[in-house]
Structure 1
Amino acid sequence: MCGEHGTHSTDTAAVAGRPRSCGPSSPAEARQAVRDALEGRFQGQDPRGDDDAVGDALLVASELTSNAILHGGGVTDFEVTLVDHAVQVSVSDGSDQVPERKQRVDEQGRMRVGGHGWPIICRLARDIVVSSLRPSGKRITAIVPLALA
């Protein structure tokens, strides 16, 4: 999966009756959910703190959502939580396939189009957990550190 990065896999039962199409329908909506969470937590203060760290959290949310839409049949659940000085983003989809790094070049030695999202997530997140959902699907939770004062 992510190689040297903190990635864990667990098995989790899905919540009965959970809507099957809950969450952002685009990466832009995922980014807005992160912005909203930051603004809600740091009312009256600058919620951005370290712009690079916030940008990392926005990019991870965007990539997780894109991957769920492109490879997982769509987002089935989405959650943004602020934990200590980090943003925790959880995205669920209907696919059981665990993300993996793709080779950067194809069989003919040409650079591949796409396949860059998972390495970006692995590089920017402090910890990643991939949980199997029942009866099918997965949830990927990524924790992105913030440098908020």
Structure 2
Amino acid sequence: MCAEHRMNRTLSTDTVAVPEQPRSGPRSPAEVRQAVRRALEGRFRDSDTADDEDAVSDALLVASELTTNAIRHGGGLTDFQVTLAGCEVLLSVSDRSEQLPLVVRGVDESGDLRVGGHGWPIVCRLARDVVVSDLRTGGKRITAVVPLSSS
């Protein structure tokens, strides 16, 4: 898991059923990135805060990786939320799987480089905190906290 980050697995108090597909939310990594950009644009309009461009790119990459993992390994994206909290953005992605994310070795059994397996380490490296919550209706929610400035 994220050895250098605090990793919690909690039981969500959320009692709302997880829909089969997001009804009005993003359904792909590209749509998730657009949602994050829109949230950050609102932050720029509503304050004098100038976020670090690299930090914004980090938030977009984390959102994209979490979404891709939910689609490829978690049985599909069931919910996405982006929340701005001070100088941080909380990115929450829910999927149908209860299985925790795994770090996969970069090489296979024969010593050849493995394709893929980089998403979770990227999330762990760029997020200040990662929390995995079990959903009462099944599946899990992963919330990553990404700082928006280097200061």
Alignment size in residue pairs? 149
Shift of 1:17: 4.0
Residue of 93, 101, 104 corresponding to 2:103:
101
Does structure 2 conserve the Cα–Cα contact (< 8 Å) formed by 1:89 and 1:142?
yes
SS of equivalent residue, structure 1 residue 42:
helix
Opposite residue 6 of structure 2, the aligned amino acid is G
Matches within 5 A, 1:24-43: 24-43=26-45
TM-score, normalized by length of structure 2?
0.91
One-letter amino acid matched to 2:32 = A
1:55-66 matched pairs, under 5 angstroms = 55-66=57-68
Specify every segment of 5 or more residues in structure 2 that has no aligned partner in the other structure, as ranges: none
Amino acid at match of 1:10: T
Question: What is the rounded CA distance, in whole Å, between the counterparts of 1:8 and 1:88 in structure 2?
Answer: 15
Counterpart CA distance in 2 for 1:112 and 1:46 is 44
State which drifts further: 117-126 or 44-53: 44-53
- Is the contact made by 1:38 and 1:48 (CA closer than 8 Å) also made in structure 2? no
**Could you tell me which residue of structure 2 aligns to residue 79 of structure 1?**
81
Question: What is the identity, as a one-letter code, of the residue corresponding to 2:4?
Answer: E
The structure 1 segments of at least 4 consecutive aligned residues displaced by more than 2 Å after TM superposition are 13-20, 44-49
Q: Partner residue of 1:125?
A: 127
Q: CA deviation at 1:16?
A: 2.8
Q: Using the aligned pairs only, state the percent identity.
A: 62
TM-score, normalised by the number of residues in structure 1: 0.92
1:10 aligned partner: 10
Deviation at 1:58, TM superposition (A): 0.2
Residues 114/48 of structure 1: CA separation in 2 closer, same or farther (3 Å cut)? farther
8 A contact 2:26–2:80 mirrored in 1: yes
Task: Give distance in 2, aligned partners of 1:27 and 1:78.
Answer: 10
Q: CA offset at residue 45 of structure 1?
A: 6.3
